[in-house]
Structure 1
């Protein structure tokens, strides 16, 4: 527990500084974090093909550069070319490597690089980005914290016995309620401080908190399923007491896209 607390004391200020600064700082940070996350994913699934992994890392970097350079209108072409190159690599390395390597590289790319990119897309909105970026972490971390403490004290009914025996239905409900309250409270604060000028725009914060918490918990369970399938306790050890990048960001990966689309369709 002491190691976990020390890691949090170091990591949280760094996270806050990067999110506050945004721009190139966040862009570089996300590229690095996503590369580490893909490395952890590839290692967990024991991908043998070094060429395929390298192509995955290169695809990751190119993908983020397209977002940074505002070339997202060409992403469909990028995904098509990326898939084509992976298949060409498969042909030239056959039969040394299996087709599952390509599938895992693609899944790793979309699971880590693509889903994490929504953090950047939320933050870079010029109107609400600097304020709504915090909502991703308020919902995910708030849900996790409320679920943990209520689950430890009152949890009796198992939520997902085969995936995460310690998680309870009571903790899950507490996470949803807690994240909803925190999200709405944050919306009210933004309204009162003038960052949101229309009170009706507080309504989406209710759904962001509730549904975001559900997605956050599913993200956590999805990561648990991957780890159990590969018989590992953590994806990595880069954060002592917390595990790897994917262990810490598993809920963020599912929450960020949801916050982005709610922001895009109901708040902007």
Structure 2
């Protein structure tokens, strides 16, 4: 427990100031986290981090991320082309490696690059939109997780996904979403009163979207639990002692941020 607390304090001391100031330092932090997330996919696949497939994997996720802030002169078509070019190289490598690196390996790593790369890409875009927007996303995840844990512990009886995450319950899930709607709703009320232009929609619409994002965050958590169970690992990584890896800590947010993009907030 002590280790978890120390890690959380140190991580927040690094993350929160960079989040507050935004700009290039925060963007670089996000890129670093994305690269670590890609490394976690490679490790779960039992691939060396100093290998040609690892290099291609890092290039794949960078091709999704970097044009957001370092090469904004690139068009969306060019961005898609750069990722696809790396994908073709990865497929070619299946031939050159004589299937030591297989089509299945390429599929997993490319999907991982899209999943983590686009999730962290939208984190950069959310902070570029405003600090209020990024805090909104973080609060949804934090309040949902805490509410689901506390309410599930007290009232939970019906398992949500016993074969994937046996400790989660329907009661906790519903409680987490209701907690998010109430507590994040208070945040929205004050922000929309003092910074009316912070969000594109009215208060009632934002409450409905908050419920949607809260559910989406829980789905993101379950997705990560599913692939960890498939690969037989407890945590995606060990970079955060007591907390696991980057994917462990940002699994919900990697689902919430794209949903915010698709609904027109970022």
Runs of 5+ in structure 1 lacking a partner?
Answer: none
User: Tell me, what secondary structure is at the counterpart of 2:252?
Assistant: helix
CA contact 1:190–1:196 (8 Å) conserved in 2 = no
Please tell me whether residue 185 in structure 1 is matched to residue 170 in structure 2.
no
What residue in structure 1 maps to residue 224 of structure 2?
Answer: 223
Q: Which moved more, 1:206-215 or 1:170-179?
A: 206-215
Runs of 5+ in structure 2 lacking a partner?
Answer: none
CA contact 1:155–1:168 (8 Å) conserved in 2 = yes
CA contact 1:183–1:205 (8 Å) conserved in 2 = no
CA contact 1:155–1:169 (8 Å) conserved in 2 = yes
Compute the RMSD of aligned alpha carbons. Answer: 2.0
Measure the CA separation in 2 of the matches of 1:198 and 1:158.
Answer: 36
Aligned pair partner of 1:87 in 60, 67, 91: 91
Please tell me whether residue 116 in structure 1 is matched to residue 120 in structure 2.
yes
What's the TM-score, normalizing by structure 2?
Answer: 0.91
What residue in structure 1 maps to residue 256 of structure 2?
Answer: 255
Q: How many residues align?
A: 262
What's the TM-score, normalizing by structure 1?
Answer: 0.91
What residue in structure 2 maps to residue 6 of structure 1?
Answer: 6
Deviations 1:44-65 (A, max 9, x none): 1224692122111122223322
Deviations 1:88-136 (A, max 9, x none): 22222223321111111101101212222111111112xxx22111111
What residue in structure 1 maps to residue 111 of structure 2?
Answer: 107
What is the correspondence of 1:111-150 to structure 2 with a 5 Å cutoff? 111-125=115-129, 129-150=130-151
Identify if the C-alpha distance between structure 1 residues 261 and 182 changes in structure 2 by more than 3 Å, giving closer, same or farther: farther
What residue in structure 1 maps to residue 44 of structure 2?
Answer: 44
How far apart are 1:72 and its partner, in Å? 4.6
CA contact 2:133–2:199 (8 Å) conserved in 1 = no
CA contact 2:94–2:100 (8 Å) conserved in 1 = no
Identify if the C-alpha distance between structure 1 residues 47 and 30 changes in structure 2 by more than 3 Å, giving closer, same or farther: same
